[in-house]
Structure 1
Amino acid sequence: MKELKSIEEFETLKNKGKTVFMFGADWCGDCRYIDPLMPEIESENDDFTFIHVDRDEFMDLCADLAIFGIPSFLAYEDGEEIGRFVSKDRKTKEEINDFLAAL
């Protein structure tokens, strides 16, 4: 999964097709739990571009987007938010795929 490098890149990517931003952090156990599952989730949902956002590096962006728990997923299509899976709970592969299928 590609890593977000800048706020400018976030603005560009959210306006370009269907993009899912996964917010997480290296120290987050629940984030580490789903990391090995993400390549499979990405291949099963190839109509989306997946971007990892380091919560610690982009704290202001997270605050602006009301991302307070991680891991969290925020989906955009051509600049419009189409869904969010935001909570402090551990997420399963099935829950993530269900979220993406509902978009």
Structure 2
Amino acid sequence: MKEFAKMAETNLTHLITKGKHVLFFTATWCSDCRFIKPAMPEIEAEFPEYEFIEIDRDQYIDICEEWEIFGIPSFVVIDNGREVGRFVNKDRKTKREISEFIHSLS
């Protein structure tokens, strides 16, 4: 998974214009984020057609406000610059729930 903070292109809108992306909004202090993070490589492997981008909520609060992310962990799926789905709430998410969410968009 690519970390947004380490990417050369820092304009998220431009970065996601082409291709399929899953934006993973997280924070280091978030216990639910830490719970799901070990499963993220398996989820990524299940969906090789997507580029997964991790965005730290505290480091990029402006992006979270722009994308109306109020609970973490949250997932927003983008296809050629257009949002096609989001899994955003304050609940703990399981690997199965995230996989089912992404499959539902295919």
Q: Which TM-score band applies after superposition, normalised by the shorter structure?
A: over 0.9
TM-score for both structures, normalised by structure 2: 0.92
Amino acid at match of 2:64: C
For structure 1, the 5+ residue unaligned runs are none
Give the secondary structure class of the aligned counterpart of 1:22: strand
Give the secondary structure class of the aligned counterpart of 1:57: coil
Q: Pick from 61, 71, 74: which aligns with 2:73?
A: 71
Structure 1 distance, partners of 2:48, 2:58, is: 27
CA contact (8 A) 1:7 1:61 kept: no
Q: Pick from 18, 23, 30: which aligns with 1:28?
A: 30
Give the secondary structure class of the aligned counterpart of 1:83: strand
Amino acid at match of 1:30: D
TM-score for both structures, normalised by structure 1: 0.95
Name 1:62's counterpart in structure 2: 64
Q: Pick from 77, 83, 94: which aligns with 1:92?
A: 94
Identity across matched positions, percent: 52
Runs of 4+ in structure 1 off by over 2 angstroms are none
Aligned residues: 102
